[in-house]
Structure formats: structure tokens, C-alpha cells
A and B are shown apart, each in its own frame.
Chain A
């Protein structure tokens, strides 16, 4: 009997290794995965199962996928769109023709849900709502976003948004947020971000994550040849921050780092 079980588990690991999208898994380990998933993301059972299945029951990938594509996975209980719409109308500036929250209206709204508009947390709000244009929240984004999150009262929003600060401590969530931030800050057609915008974004979002941020910003500002930041550089910067921490000697110069980061390390070591 023991032999059989060993054989089975061995074959299971083999299949898992060779074919990622295998569905040969015992229900026990499936349940395990689902409960793990729920612990991390506090999503519902159904969603957990769906995401895990789509990622071949690979917990890591499932969680990453979930955070990156929040809008695909609505909360257990959808918020009442009518109520949400009312909140939107309350804050929207009636004089403006477009159906969007921006400028002072946006400022007021954010303060209204206890989110400091100056802080990077405000960006996180936009992320949660899956906004596309910087500095604005459209009606649709507002209504659908909060609905998906299951928040239809200001109070609910306040509590939920307060939790947002935690993403800076959760590496996976932060990564998804950070990567989204790039597309948010660049206009539609462009593949690169202006240096100035990048710098200000980094200043706002990276301090708790990137110990060498100050040096990095100094380097970037001094470097005149660097005018645009590509998506690759943006994403890789986070990886770099995580790999190196505050000890730049951990840097592996044979790793496939973008040339700009190589230059940064050289510059840093020369100082």
C-alpha cells in the first residue's frame, strides 16, 4: 500500500514538472491550494478555484495573476451600482462636461474616503479601480470598479482603502501595482515614459521598497543621455531593488540587467 502511494506522489510531481497545465491533482491538494490562496488574497472560494485552475494550480502564478488582473475577478458580493453612482455624482463637479472625477473634485473625493491625495496611496486607489488615464477617474471606472470590490458606501470605501497601505508590505501586490503604474503613466501609443514622470513616481512609491532610491534618483537626474524610461527598465528596477536591498555588492553583473542599471552600479561604486 505504501508503495502505491509513493508511486502516485512521484508521478504527480513529475507531471507537475513536465506539464504545467496538468489537471492530474488530487482533490486534497486542490483544497489545500484554494485555502492557501484565500489566506493570501482573501478572495472567495469560487474565484480562488477559477484563478488556480487557469494557472495550472500553481499557487505562485495564481496569486500573481490575481493581483495583476483584479478587474477580472469580482468580489464575493458586488456593490450596488446605483449607490455608487450617487457617491460619484456627489463629488463630481457639475460644471465640468466630462463624466470624470479630476482636479479638485478628485481631491475632495479622496479626502472624503480618508486617502491622502498627496500620498502614493492615492495611486493605489486608481490601481484598484483599474483607471487608465492619469489624474482622472471616469464614471464607468468609478462605478464598475467599486462594484467589483463590493464597496457601495463611503464608510465601506474608507475601511477598504485604509487597508491599501498594506500593499507596500506585500511584495506580490506591490509588484502588480508597480507594473500597472507604468501603463497608467504613459499615454496610449507610447512605449516609454518621460524621465521626469518616472522620477516623480519613483519618489512617491519606492521609498519603503528601495533603500538605494536616493542614489538612484541622483544618478538618473545627472544622466543626461537618459531621457525615456522603457517598460523593461521600469520593471527591472523593482527586481533590482529587491535583489540588492541596501547592499550593492549583491549585484550580479552577469545577470541580464538593463544597461542603465549596470551604469548605475558602476557610478555608485565609483562614488
Chain B
């Protein structure tokens, strides 16, 4: 006994004796436990007694540590108990357990170890119970391991350290067996692996070092081998991804069943690396089974699998989306080519483009999880091919652009009365998507404006449909883009109102409106520019025109009305020998015909003079009346179907046609400006505005910076040509909006 000689009432010698007595009992019961465990813990016949004895032991330990007069004695006692129990365990392990386990191999090792470990866990459990008080009283305050840790350490040094390498080998071999397709005892595996975890006490360090790392190594090597063999198989590339999928599932299951929970992610990522990352290029670019091939054969399921797998790895989808992009680009270019050879089928081209677009929407949604990489890929592909111009083979000066085609497509759709509103909505949505890819959006606007004006004024069109598309465009491009279009529709809608007010005004002022006279006021800025012909109207028309002008002027101040007669139509009642007819004609045609109310024969040039029209116009008008389908006029002299100034015409009294009411197709209306030219002009203005705006804000900028800034701002509307910007800058310098810096010729300054 290592006690200090104490002077005092309690005799340390006494205590020492008492202690040893108690110890004998404790030792005995602990030994009993060890024997029991060693024999496999068959339930002892005197099970209850066993429990009672353990309780007794617990109490005695407790007493030894507490019920004495000196605290120091208690501590000493606890220390002794601790040390001696430790010795007992060590002795037991050394003598009984270690030899069972060391130098065993394979399954035998596993079995023995399993047994030993199970046993030891029991020892720990009961030992902790018996010596429980030590944990409360002693270990905490004296910087020693608590009982559990202490006992585990005993096992660690006695057993674990000696067999850990062998154990790891065995386990890995089992894993290999299982991967080969054999079944193994997973429970044993789990327990054995759990040993590593427990041996690490609080951290996973031991587990990771002694087991996980070798395990991952083996796993990596295994899959390296497998992937190489799979790929080198004949036709192996087709089944490769399926196999990868299987392997990943398997490994995940395996980790869940017997590895520690933290290992799952490590394992999976390792496998992914060996199977997917290493072979990424090989798999994706394979000519027979790679992404492109799958797209060509539209193997959506395979593509889906490919996506799922490669989505797991870092940067996995980059290559794949690149391939998708290039493929879509090729498909697009093929469409371009197809529709360029021969007459450009406008509708067909847009239909094909929309179809292509749709095809991928479905694919992305169902198989690619709507992943943004692919939407981006499709966008760049479309932006490339849709903006290539289709060159008509006739060698016309104007190349046909997709801006024009898309606009014409819309035009056709709006005029198509057979289409249902739902169908229309769906198609409009798709059209707007296609629209976003076009770079020359301002050119589209010009074409659309021109065509819409025709629709609104001449043909019939559904206002709601028009508005629907306009609002969609507005959403994409902002209000300034669609302001003119909206203005046009508003004008048209106001037309009815204005007409009503006009008639009321006339009634009020007692003016008579001789015939059914309708006007439509167009606000100049919104509508495309129409050619204004200086018509000298016939009397019938003139008075009504005057009335309307008066009405309009009193309604609004400071506005000037200009009459666009080229857009007007008239319905005339005509008396022919063979019956009365109603003739729908243009204003000019009406003028010509009305002249014949007063004279029978009129010379062409006189007509021109009477109405103050250029001869070209009269020529066309008369031609349509005399040499068209409905020959209401007849020339006095015979000859070619060309109108000369000196030609004299008269009404063809014998004219007959089965229809009672018919329209005489007129002269081709004066084309209100070529959209290309208009767009070029507006681009110049917009570019200049952009330059001035930027310079005003920044005061001073270098040439490159100015260019970059302008390109950025303008690409919203169209693709700006750097040359154009340069030219505008020069022009602005000339007009003293900007100047070059004297010392640095690349720097511009804003001149206020």
C-alpha cells in the first residue's frame, strides 16, 4: 500500500486491511464476469445471483470510495481500484484473447475477432456498471480515461494493434468477393468495420486511416480495371453507362449496409471519378454512342441517363452541353440550307425552326431536369444559325433575313381565320422565343409595322390577337419597342369614335354628308410613311373632305391633316347595258370613273391634269380599269395594252360579269419605304443618341471604351457594326459634339 503515514485517529493500517478484504470480493466477481464472457456468456444457471453479485460489487466499490473519514483515503482507494481492474482486464486479454486472434487469417480471423470483440463489449458493459462509481467520482477529476475508454484502450493495445492490418486485408478481400458477385456475411462485416470506428474513440481518425483509405484505394483500382475492360469490349460503349449506373447503385447500397455513414460520399465520389471523370471525353465524344450519336438517333432515355450521370461530377455537363449546342447549330444550318435552295419558303422555314426548338424543349424538360446549361446551349446555337441570311438564288439585291421571315409568318397567322385562339396563343409564345434569338430586332419591328399597317387598314384582323403578340413583345423588349405598334391599334380603335363624332358634328352644323363617308385618322409617327399624292378631288368627295377637315380642326388644335388617297377605297354604283353593278375600287380608280359621268370620251392626259396626278399614277389606274380582269373602260384605238398620254377612253357600256358586286384589283400600292433602308436610317440615329448619351455621362472616354459601351447598349436591339459606330463618332466630331484630346488621340471628350 502506498499510503502516507498518517497521524490521526483512523489507523491507516486498519483501513488498508479493510480495503484488501473488500478487494477480494470485488476481484472475485469481476473474474467471474470475465469467465462468463470467455465461455460465450451462456446464461448462467444462477443468473439472478449473478446480477445480485454485481450489485453487491457496485455497492462495495461505492463504499470504499466514500465511507471513510479521510477524503484522501477515498481517492487512494479509487485509484487502486481503477488500476487493479485495469490490470485484470489486461491480463485476461493477454492470456485468453490475443492468442485466439493473432496469426489467424481470412475467415478464421474474422470469426475469432468477431467473437472477441463481442465479448469485450460485454466486459465493457458490465465492468462499467460495477465500477460505475469510479466514473462519477474518480476519473473525471483525476485526468484519467473514463472506464469505457480505458477498457477500449486495453483491447486496442492487446488485440487491435496486433491484427489491424490483417483485418483490413481480410475485409477488403471480402469486399472484392462481393463485387465479383458472391454473397458474404454482411453482419460480420459491419461489426468488424465498427471495430475500427470504436477504436478511434471519439474521432474517426483510426477508421479513416486504417480502413477507409485502403478501402477507397482498392475501390478506385477496381473500377479503373473494370472501366477499362468494359470500354475495350466490342460494343462495350453502348452498355457502358448502364453499367456505371449499376455500379453506383451497388456501391451506395454497400456503404449503407456495412460502412460507416461518413464513407458513403467518399466512396461514391471516388467511383464517379474512376468511371465518369476519367473517361468523360471518351464516352461523350464516341461517334456511335456519344452525345451526338444519341441526339441523331433521338435516344432520349439514353440521353437522360447520360445527363443524370454526368450531372454528378464537377463540370460534367460542360462538354455535354457543348456537344448539344454544336449539334443544334448543325441542324439549324441544315434548315437554312434546305430553305435557301430554290424559292425561299417563308412559312416552311419558320415552321421548321419552331419545330426544332420545340423538340428540344421536350427533351430538356423530361430528361435533362430543365438544366440551364442546355437552355444556354440551345440559345447560342439558335443565335448563330437564325441570323445567317438566306440568299435567294435569283440574285436579288436584298438578302432575306429571319427578321423578315418571322414577321411574314406572324402576318400569315394573323390573317388566318381558321386558327383557334388557343392554338394561336401557343404559337405566339413560340414565335416570341424565336424572336429573342434574332439579333436584328429593329429590322423585325420595321417589317412587322409595315405588314401590320396593311392588316389594320386593308385586310381584316382580330385586334385581340394583335394585342396579344404586342404585349408579349413588350414584355421582352420594353415599352419603347412596341409603342408605335400600340399607337397604330389605338388609332384604328379611335376611328369608330371619331366617325361618330364627325357625323354628329355634321348633323349639328346642318351639313349634309352625301354618301357613306368614312375616314380613318392615322398618327404620322406610328404608321409607316405613305406616299402623299396631291389629288385634286372630284366635287363629290371634296365637300365631305372639307367638312371633315373643319370638324377635325375644331376638335384638335395645331394638327395638320394630310389625305392619303392611295389607301382609300370607294364603292360605286354603275349602270351597264347588261345590268347594274356595284364596283369596289380605289380612290384613284373612282376619280377616273366618275369623270365619265360628265364626258363620254376623255383623253388620258386630261385625266391626269384634272386630278393633278402624275401621269404614271393615271397610267397605272387606267391600265387596271381597261386592261385588267374587269374591263370597264375601253380604248378608242386598238393597240398594245399600254396606256399612252394621247389615248382616249370611254366607258365600256357592254361590260358584263356574272357577279353583281365585284372589286377591281388596283394598282400596286406605293410601297411605304423599304424596311431595310428605314432600319439603317434609324440605326444611325440610335447609335448617335447612344454615343452622345454615353459621352455626356462619362465626359471623357477612350475610343475602345466608348465602342464597348455602345455595343453593349445597342445589342439589345440589333448587332451593331463597329464601323458604323466609328463613322458616327467621326460625324459627331465634325458637328462639334465631341472632340479628340490633343495629347491622346484615342481619347474623346464631350463638348457641351
Contact = CB atoms under 8 A, between A and B. Distances in A.
Interface stretch (A38-46, A116-124, A140-148, A253-261): A253-261
A259 B730 contact: yes
B748 A231 contact: no
A183 interface: no
A230 interface: yes
A261 to B, nearest CB: 10
Contacts of B745: 236, 239, 255-256
B727 A259 contact: yes
Contacts of B729: 256
Nearest to A239: B745
Interface in B703-736: 703-704, 723, 726-727, 729-730, 733-735
A194 interface: no
Interface of A: 60-61, 64, 191-192, 230-233, 236, 239, 254-256, 258-259, 262
A126 B727 CA distance: 33
Interface string B306-332: 000000000000000000000000000
Contacts of B148: none
User: Which of A64, A230, A239, A256 gathers the greatest number of chain B CB atoms within 10 Å?
Assistant: A256
B734 A192 contact: yes
B734 A230 contact: yes
Interface residues of B, number: 17
20 contacts: A61-B742, A64-B742, A192-B734, A230-B730, A230-B734, A231-B734, A232-B730, A232-B733, A236-B745, A239-B745, A255-B703, A256-B703, A256-B740, A256-B745, A256-B746, A258-B730, A259-B726, A259-B727, A262-B723, A262-B726
A64 B733 CA distance: 22
Given A230-B734, A232-B740, A259-B730, A254 B723 contact: no
B734 A191 contact: yes
A-B pairs, top 3 by smallest CB distance, nearest first, are A256-B703, A256-B746, A232-B733
Nearest to A231: B734
B653 to A, nearest CB: 58
Nearest to A64: B742
Contacts of B733: 230, 232
Nearest to A243: B745
A233 B489 CA distance: 47
A64 B742 CA distance: 10
B748 A256 contact: yes
A60 B743 CA distance: 10
Nearest to A254: B704
A262 B745 CA distance: 15
Given A239-B745, A256-B703, A256-B748, 18 more contacts: A60-B743, A61-B742, A191-B735, A192-B734, A230-B733, A232-B730, A232-B740, A255-B703, A255-B746, A256-B702, A256-B729, A256-B740, A256-B745, A258-B726, A259-B726, A259-B727, A259-B730, A262-B723
A255 B743 CA distance: 14
A239 B730 CA distance: 16
Interface string B324-354: 0000000000000000000000000000000
A15 B291 CA distance: 64
Nearest to B727: A259
B734 A232 contact: yes
A30 B498 CA distance: 80
A255 B740 CA distance: 12
Nearest to B748: A256
B286 to A, nearest CB: 43
Nearest to B739: A232
A270 B164 CA distance: 79
A255 to B, nearest CB: 6
Contacts of A232: 730, 733-734, 740
Contacts of A255: 703, 745-746
A253 to B, nearest CB: 10
